[in-house]
Amino acid sequence: MAHSMILPLLFACSLLCAGAASDFYKDFDITWGDGRGKILNNGQLLTLSLDRASGCGFQSKNEYHFGKIDMQLKLVAGNSAGTVTAYYLSSQGPTHDEIDFEFLGNLSGDPYTLHTNVFTQGKGNREMQFRLWFDPTANFHTYSVLWNPQQILFMVDGAPIRVFRNMETKGVAYPKSQPMRIYSSLWNADDWATRGGLVKTDWANAPFTASYRGFSADACVWAAGKSSCSGSRTSGGSGGAGGAWMNYEMDVASQEKMKWVQSNYMIYNYCSDRSRFPQGLPAECSVASA
């Protein structure tokens, strides 16, 4: 199967798809890093930088309870070994829920590792890792989470790469009761990030910088203990009963795209790691690829 023919078809949703103007001043707060995080271009661009002294991070002003979240990222270029750019949704507390994208840096010329995870009620250990089919440092690409009561879908440039379905009937907790904020950070993790910590951060290349634009949240905003989707339309959210994403289920074509990505670009799947689970694979693995 020729990649040169397949890629344009599968990933036709290109850099223009999420080009809608966003205002980082309105939607986010830079929360740490002593000025290493910057909002530029009248709120249209956000950059995070890492040097030997510190990384930095930001979080959304709003909490969300279901939605479709899009963000364009351009990752640290060159020798990014030892660095991690984390972009995720999370609630707070010891029984928190979390939906993770983490980008593990590497030596110049080697591909990034895209690390994904899902936490429910404080329990994670659901890692799937991918190589990307493009250079994520050369241009902006769109990384999306679609989170509704039925499933969590991870997408890259509109292509689904992973799904975590609601399997409460099988005793698997599902993130549905805790609102989550969006977080992102750029930090040094050279004790584990690149080849298990064998390759350290080369500070001669600092500062390392990741860039963000094109944020979009077609989502239910949580405020004063309730969701904007539970009643009439409110400012800041999609309102009503949610958007088309609220009842979205992958069709056959989307499932085929996901299988193609996983068969060609997935490098680790916890549901295939029987040595890690000698007592048996987690319950959700029995239907993870169904």
Query: What's the CA gap between 64 and 219, in Å, rounded?
Result: 6
Task: Considering the candidates 102, 127, 168, 256, report the single residue annotated as catalytic.
Answer: 102
Q: Answer yes or no: is pLDDT of 11 > 80.
A: no
Q: Are 159 and 262 in contact (CB under 8 A)?
A: no
Question: Concatenated DSSP letters for 93-112?
Answer: STT--EEEEEEE--STTSPP
Convert the pLDDT of each residue in 192-223 to its tens digit. 888 889 989 999 999 999 999 999 999 999 99
* 98 carries an active-site annotation: yes
What is the structure's pLDDT at 193?
87
Read off the tokens for 122: 């404080």
Task: Considering the candidates 63, 98, 249, 256, report the single residue annotated as catalytic.
Answer: 98
What are the C-alpha distances in Å from 213 to residues 64, 116, 138, 184, 198?
19, 21, 14, 13, 32
Q: What is the mean pLDDT of the chain?
A: 89
Query: What's the CA gap between 66 and 9, in Å, rounded?
Result: 29
| Domains identified in the chain and CATH numbers | 24-228+241-285 (2.60.120.200)
* 284 carries an active-site annotation: no
Q: Are 243 and 118 in contact (CB under 8 A)?
A: no
Beta strand segments in the chain, E = 28-32, 37-40, 45-50, 56-60, 63-74, 83-90, 98-104, 113-119, 128-131, 141-147, 151-156, 159-165, 181-188, 208-223, 226-227, 266-269
Convert the pLDDT of each residue in 229-255 to its tens digit. 974 333 334 444 568 999 999 999 999
